[in-house]
Structure 1
């Protein structure tokens, strides 16, 4: 029995938003990177060449726009697709590697770093709801995408763990390590180029370590 009841079909991806809405959300992300704080409906409408009325119709208000923007960014960490009835060790490993690759690529990118820096600042100042929006629609949403896959691996006797929450936290730590916090704090010795160049090696290492900890004997 799974300890996290999330259907495998629930996800936010390119099909969730129309191409025009995707263009608007991309414009909002660009403005966040450029300006960090003070994102307004007027600025997004101007950048995306649409009316504020359209933005309000699609997203409700500024918080709704911010929520959709964070969801759009988080959707770049794709939910692995697995066939539960024919899941094998190779397919599970490839799915987890894909997730790790997407996760590391997205959260170490300029957009995510800016989003997180701004959200932390707002949360510290109790300025608005951006911190909660980023937490709920970023890290928590990404977590909900992988846990059912881990549980599918457990159900197929390819993984062994008592709690998918604990397994996910271990996986996240193996993949992300201290890279995200160093980028958030502006570590000059760690560049985006360095992170990008090392992603494939980091993904393989993290996946190997995860299966060493949680893999059933048949998968080791």
Structure 2
């Protein structure tokens, strides 16, 4: 079930599941979620299938807090592209530095490859991989408009991923005692978008009078 198809009640259930996942980790059960969310296990199975289905929906729900970039190819220009990349980056940073995502990712790393109920793989498929699918249309649209130049969209996304996430997530996962403030996140997001455009923009220094290729 896609995030956009969820009802308010289903989102509330997933919020309850997220809270329990952070609190109880791999001891999360359908029974516990049903009790916390005041619904029946039968309803959970109907909505999400098995426990893995619930976990996947929960991770997608958390990732959905990162807003997509509306793609209107008729209005896409260098300014709207830069703004879209910045907004996506800032949303991404705000989510991954939040308490819930930090706890979820710590748990996923700890469980990675340890069982058939591999939370690490679920997070990978519904987190970074899901974000790749959401941003790729913007990258392809910008290429079609002649704003970006790249061969493989996955490679371009990988570069963007590295510039946005950098060492921020690792520092948070390892308990950096100096929290990252909102102003720092905004500056980091703007820098990531600017650096990405420096690498992939079709506007080069010679064409912009020495603007270093920045948009």
Aligned to 1:4: none
Higher relative contact order (CA 8 A, sep 6+): 1
Deviation at 1:121, TM superposition (A): 1.4
Q: Does 1:112 align with 2:101?
A: yes
Cα separation, 1, equivalents of 2:71 and 2:119: 33
Deviation at 1:91, TM superposition (A): 1.4
Aligned to 1:207: 193
Equivalent position to 1:19, from 8, 31, 48 = 8
Deviation at 1:35, TM superposition (A): 2.2
- Give the root-mean-square deviation of aligned CA atoms: 1.8
Q: Does 1:167 align with 2:153?
A: no
Deviation at 1:12, TM superposition (A): 4.6
Equivalent pairs counted in the alignment come to 206
Aligned to 2:211: none
User: TM-score with structure 1 length normalisation?
Assistant: 0.87
- Give yes or no for contact 2:142–2:148 (8 Å, CA) kept in 1: yes
Deviation at 1:100, TM superposition (A): 0.6
Instruction: Give 5+ residue unaligned stretches, structure 2.
Output: 209-213
Cα separation, 1, equivalents of 2:27 and 2:181: 29
Cα separation, 1, equivalents of 2:92 and 2:103: 16
Deviation at 1:81, TM superposition (A): 0.5
User: TM-score with structure 2 length normalisation?
Assistant: 0.89
Deviations 1:76-96 (A, max 9, x none): 112210211332111111111
- Give yes or no for contact 1:154–1:160 (8 Å, CA) kept in 2: yes
Moved more, 123-132 or 30-39: 123-132
Instruction: Give 5+ residue unaligned stretches, structure 1.
Output: 1-10
